[in-house]
Amino acid sequence: MRYVISLSLLLVVLWLAISGVYKPVLFVLGGASVILVVWLSVRMDVVGVEHNPVLFSWRLVAYWWWLFGQLVKSNLHVTRLVFQTSKVQPRLLTVPVPHEAAVAKVTYGNSVTLTPGTVTLKLTDDMLEVHALDEASARDLEGGDMARKISWLERREDNA
């Protein structure tokens, strides 16, 4: 029950933060949306210990800030590549996935895809297949910094 409550509270806070319009009709629609999402999540059996929305606590906010910095850095790098097309050397690479929790693996794959210059093509239990736009993007990923951050996020600093 606590997972349902934490999911509901997280969704309400997220909706209020993103909405920006606080009128009675929108409160009713937002509340209905939260109820629908929580009901669907319970029906799909995706609310529990591993899918607890507050599982990562403050670490998730710290990770988002770090990821935002990586997105800015990668955007600038890809912008430079647009003007220096000779440096674009696409490549496929496979990197290990050192995470145990499914949510951490998906977070890793999605974070790679969000970062300009790299796209996750395939995620298996222990490997991530990625398309990198150039050698520098591939090296950054192979360095394992993002994997270490996600291990820290899931409180497993010893894994990367």
- What would the pLDDT profile of 99-117 be if each residue is shown by its tens digit? 888 888 988 999 999 999 9
Query: What pLDDT is recorded for position 1?
Result: 76
Confidence band of 149 (pLDDT split at 50, 70, 90): very high
Contact 4, 49 (CB under 8 A): no
* C-alpha dihedral sign at 56, 62, 63, 68: positive
What is residue 158's predicted lDDT score, i.e. its pLDDT? 47
pLDDT digits (tens, 9 = 90+) for 1-46: 778 888 888 889 888 888 888 899 989 999 999 999 999 888 887 7
Average pLDDT over residues 126-137: 94
Domain extent listing, the chain: 2-43, 58-159
Q: Quick check: 142 pLDDT over 60?
A: yes
- Least trusted range by pLDDT, from 19-23, 70-74, 122-126, 137-141: 19-23
Beta strands in the chain (DSSP E): 91-96, 118-123, 127-132
Model confidence pLDDT, tens digit, residues 34-74: 999 999 888 887 776 555 555 556 777 888 899 999 999 99
